[in-house]
Amino acid sequence: MNYTLHQLQVFLKITQTQSITRAAEELHLTQPAVSIQFRNLQDQFEIPLAEVVGRKLYITDFGKEIAQAAEKILNEVHAINHRTLAYKGHLAGRLKISVVSTGKYVMPYFLADFLKLHPGIDLVMDVTNKTKVLESLRQNEVDFALVSVLPEQLQIEKVELMPNKLFLIGNREQTRHHHLPHDKGIFEQVPLIYREQGSGTRLVMEQYFAQQQLTVRKKLELTSNEAVKQAVIAGLGYSIMPLIGIRNELGAGELQIVSVKGFPISSTWHLIWLKNRRFSPVAAAYLQHLEQEKERIIQERFGWLDLK
């Protein structure tokens, strides 16, 4: 056997994502590079690690056992690195955070200074939809989660970060040529593009429509904030989107905010964690940093949002 740590890391990511393409994206590697590492690992075993049925990749029972062993090995390697840094007096370890998809425009700014202060900390940040974020929190797989809608079924503690403002948006041609009302009646006329079930943005939209007792024209359902933006830019419909995620497109004139009475509608970004969770030294230090620095970060990084 002559497998490498890199091969084990690649294979573990493939088992987690069930996809070579997605593993490549999350590891920031090319798909051919991931395929080569996987093939080199497979060549060392006579028993298949995975099978392709149709066009879908399935991990075999043997492959799942190898993945479990790989995870233990990689965790031990990380532990060695962290202990070495700790012995030198540095704060070291892993900080695990799960972030709803639109939160990728928020969370990095609340992490950057902390990670610069403590280079011995490894960040593991998963960006996904609200349902998966809360499941990772429920399973105690992460230290913190960033959400814009608080869960009702979990006992949590939280730090409020900042408001999340949502506006109705269309593309330049739509907003220029369509003569639409500027009250809630607009939602009964325009085709709307939704995020998928489990999205926090979608939940805020649906709560607003329910409160206003509106019947809306649902045009499309897409699985990412970026996909919704591109669909609106292409003229496929309108959507309600967080301002935090459309700054560049507004600046370029590709998207326009549609004036509607009662808008923006708002939620609030919260960093949450399970109640009574015992923090690692890294997680405790990060929470202390956030409490001390969040107002400065908001002013420096998000002043353009006009959060008052």
What kind of architecture, by CATH, is found in domain 5-75? Orthogonal Bundle (1.10)
The pLDDT assigned to 225 comes to 87
What gap in Å lies between CA 79 and CA 299, rounded to an integer? 36
Residue 238 has pLDDT above 90, yes or no: yes
Report the percentage of the chain scoring pLDDT > 70: 94
pLDDT confidence tier of residue 217, bands split at 50, 70 and 90: confident
| Mean pLDDT value across the chain | 88
Q: What is the pLDDT of residues 255-304, one digit of tens each?
A: 999 999 999 999 999 999 999 888 888 899 999 999 999 999 999 999 88
What kind of architecture, by CATH, is found in domain 164-266? 3-Layer(aba) Sandwich (3.40)
Report the percentage of the chain scoring pLDDT > 90: 51
Average pLDDT over residues 226-245: 93
Q: How many CB atoms lie within 10 A of CB 244?
A: 22
CATH placement of domain 91-162+268-305: 3.40.190.10
Domain boundaries, the chain: 5-75, 91-162+268-305, 164-266
For 41, 95, 161, 249, the CA distances from 299, given in Å and listed in that order, are 49, 25, 12, 22
Please check whether the two domains, 5-75 and 91-162+268-305, share a CATH topology.
no
Q: What is the pLDDT of residues 74-121, one digit of tens each?
A: 877 777 766 666 655 567 788 999 999 899 999 999 999 999 988 888
Short-list 292, 135, 156, CA closest to 198:
135
